[in-house]
Structure 1
């Protein structure tokens, strides 16, 4: 497959109240794998003020939080025996248990920190490693006990702007008989291209061009999306790992260390919250590498306006004020550190 980075420009011409000409460019970019479009729009000077949840943490943590250490084993549910003999699955300090309000046939919640409020700079790679390793163990147990459940993902809503309803950091692990729209669309586009290694082609093209390339550590490569789904859109790819069964402890350690650079890049821009999806195959026949995407979430202005409007929510067309190549350049500096 030949990866094509296609974009088009549109210009809106108008005048200010004094009769001076104003021209504004909208750049429409097309995802090289799916063909989906996103728009790079005029940036009037997006300034983000990161939220501080210190006071909220004091009000909601400890005895008031079901995920804090004093409540975790008393207030959270347990899995049936075929999933976990002891009711929950652990890895280091991380633990996974059932979601009381599931999004899917199988939905585990992962707690990987005893600290109620963890800022971006406080996420140690070992913490991330244990959290994702216990999620991996859960998926493997589910697949072993339920062969029909084959669509898996590890998901992270960090802080309230992202839709996270509890401040305590946690992951959602989803395993379903039905793919999400994202999973189904990508699978369909791969088949339409007639190629088995679309993600690998993207990996090779981006690493060669370097424009949106961030860096690579171990089996984990980082780049910025050409047609981003938000104002930053970081892609992590495991180019030599194809399923849940291929990943080992070092892979997750490398992933955690890469995330440190991404978190530093978000912090530099004033972002403090994000959504992340790690899509992962459950069968040994998969030809697509394990891949994750991470986008920031925030509010705008004095009214705390949502970063998502009709364009993203209903037209399903992502918008970004940030130039992908410029964001990637910022991230490379942190990655090299």
Structure 2
């Protein structure tokens, strides 16, 4: 087997106030590509309650929201004509325009539709397809006029727990001359894997996980979904566009298949009480490497009466993800939802 799944177990023994011994296990797992570790920790019975933003939506929507239909064409900026002849990129109900406060040399924002508050279960396949088609168009146009901007990604902060500052659903499309830390590390490790194994990593991951079945979720068309062995959060879903090595390889049907699979992932999040998430779609940049486009999606939560953040010193400073969920158990849930 080309891919090795390594884990170590640690045990902490202590006593309760009555002298009864307690033993807790921590499982340290290592990412099969990068070697980075993450920890599965004791689950105290985490049962998050999905937030309801109905009242907040009434306060922040309509005339108060720059992304709502009555404001979007007046309050959002426009691109130069070489990017969009009419100033913005339109695809169905999706509208893409420049970010006023950019994260990179090129940064577009895609608003999904005119709906200000969309619950996880209410996203439609058409909404998802149109938003990602608009993002695809933008990246192609940018890279045609700026070949130095090689590092691209499509990113989604859904709801405030994820870092989303505007309730109205939207994507961030990043095209930069510099890779993010994730992109740089993945590119480096994939090259090393190809040199050592003679095969592309995500192809090997797809074949291995499908054969083993423990973290395999399913596939729609050319897009396969698995759960990460060493998760970056309580869930960590990986989507692999098996035959797409650049955005030019993704068809409208692929986006439909992606959206259908994503709806199954959304159902799995909802089943666990998760409502918010971060999603990243990474676009490969090395034409000599047959690295397919891939996605990662992790849920975000606040915990308890104090609305405690799910990111602590472990994740923020040690760069060590924690999970109270077992990847194989989450994958089993996802498989039941995959024919959504």
TM range (shorter): over 0.9
Q: Distance in 1 between matches of 2:294 and 2:310?
A: 25
- Quick check: 20-29 or 188-197, which moved more? 188-197
Cα distance in 2, alignment partners of residues 138 and 284 from structure 1:
20
Q: Where do residues 314-333 of structure 1 align in structure 2 (5 Å cutoff)?
A: 314-333=317-336
Q: Equivalent residue for 1:30?
A: 30
Moved more, 278-287 or 155-164: 278-287
Contact 1:34 1:186 in 2 (8 A): yes
> 1:193-214 deviations in whole A, cap 9, x for unaligned?
3245011110110011110001
Task: State whether residues 196 and 288 of structure 1, in contact with CA within 8 Å, keep that contact through their aligned partners in structure 2.
Answer: no
Structure 2 SS opposite 1:161: helix
Whole-Å Cα distance in 2 between the matches of residues 85 and 116 of structure 1?
Answer: 27
Work out whether residues 38 and 318 of structure 1, in 8 Å CA contact, stay in contact via their aligned partners in 2.
yes
Give me the TM-score of the superposition, normalised by structure 1: 0.98
Q: Which residue of 2 aligns with 1:72?
A: 72
Deviates more, 1:285-294 or 1:122-131: 285-294
Classify the secondary structure of the residue corresponding to 1:330: helix
Cα distance, 1:245 vs structure 2: 1.0
- TM-score normalized with structure 2 length: 0.97
1:142 aligns with 2:142: yes
* Alpha-carbon distance in structure 2 between the residues aligned to 1:285 and 1:215: 28
- 2:232 aligned to 229, 249, 252, which one? 229
Structure 1 residues without counterparts, runs of 5 or longer: none
Q: 2:300 corresponds to which residue?
A: 297
Distance in 2 (alpha carbons) for counterparts of 1:142 and 1:229: 30
After superposition, give the CA deviation of every residue in 1:130-185 in whole Å (9 maximum; x if it has no partner): 00000000000000000100000000000000000000000000000000000001
Give me the CA root mean square deviation: 1.0
Match of 2:260 in 1: 257
8 Å Cα contact 1:243-1:289 kept in structure 2: yes
**Equivalent residue, structure 2, for 1:44:** 44
SS at match of 2:10: strand
Instruction: Provide the C-alpha distance between the structure 1 equivalents of 2:249 and 2:21, rounded to a whole number of angstroms.
Output: 58
Matched with 2:125 is: 125
Matched, 1:59 2:82: no
Cα distance in 1 for partners of 2:284, 2:86 equals 26
- What's 2:99 paired with? 99
**CA-to-aligned-CA distance 1:318-337 (integer Å, 9 cap, x gap):** 00000000000001001034
1:230-281 per-residue CA deviation (whole Å, 9 max, x = no partner) reads: 0000111111111111101000000000011111110011000000000012
Aligned to 1:308: 311
**Contact preservation (8 Å) 2:191, 2:289:** no
